[in-house]
Amino acid sequence: MQLLANPTLRLYIGAALISLSPVWVKLVDVSATASAFWRLAIGGVVIAAFLVVARKRLDLPVRIWFVLALAALFLAADLWFYHRSIQFIGPGLATLLANFQVFVLAAAGFVVLREPPSTRQLIAIPLALLGLALIVGVDWNELPADYRLGLIFGFGAAVTYAGYLLAMRRSRRDSTNRVPSREIAIVSLVGAAMLGITTMAEGGSLAISNTADIGWLVCYGVLSHGCGMLFITSSLPHVTTTQAGIGLLLQPTLSFVWDVMFFARPMSLAELAGAVIALLAIYLGSRARSEQAQGPR
Give me the tens of pLDDT residue by residue for the chain, a chain 297 residues long: 555 678 889 999 999 999 999 999 999 999 999 999 999 999 999 999 999 888 777 777 788 899 999 999 999 999 999 999 999 999 999 999 999 998 898 888 878 777 787 888 888 989 998 999 999 987 888 899 999 999 999 999 999 999 999 999 888 776 666 667 889 999 999 999 999 999 999 999 999 989 999 999 999 999 999 999 999 988 888 888 778 878 888 999 999 999 999 999 998 999 999 999 999 998 888 765 544 445 556
Which are the contacts of 20, defined by CB distance < 8 A and separation ≥ 6? 219, 220, 223, 224, 254, 255, 258
What are the extents of the domains in the chain? 3-294
Tally the residues of the chain. Answer: 297
Q: How far is CA 44 from CA 116, 129, 182, in A?
A: 36, 35, 10
Which are the contacts of 68, defined by CB distance < 8 A and separation ≥ 6? 60, 167, 171, 183, 186, 187, 190
Q: How far is CA 114 from CA 36, 45, 111, 119, 170, in A?
A: 34, 38, 6, 15, 17
Q: What is the pLDDT of residue 1?
A: 53
Asked if 250 and 12 count as a contact pair (C-beta separation under 8 A), the reply is: yes
| Local structure of residue 4 (DSSP, 8 states) | G
| Dist CA 287 CA 85 (whole Å) | 26
Of 51, 53, 27, 55, residue with least CA distance to 39 = 27
| Dist CA 9 CA 239 (whole Å) | 10
| Dist CA 184 CA 188 (whole Å) | 6
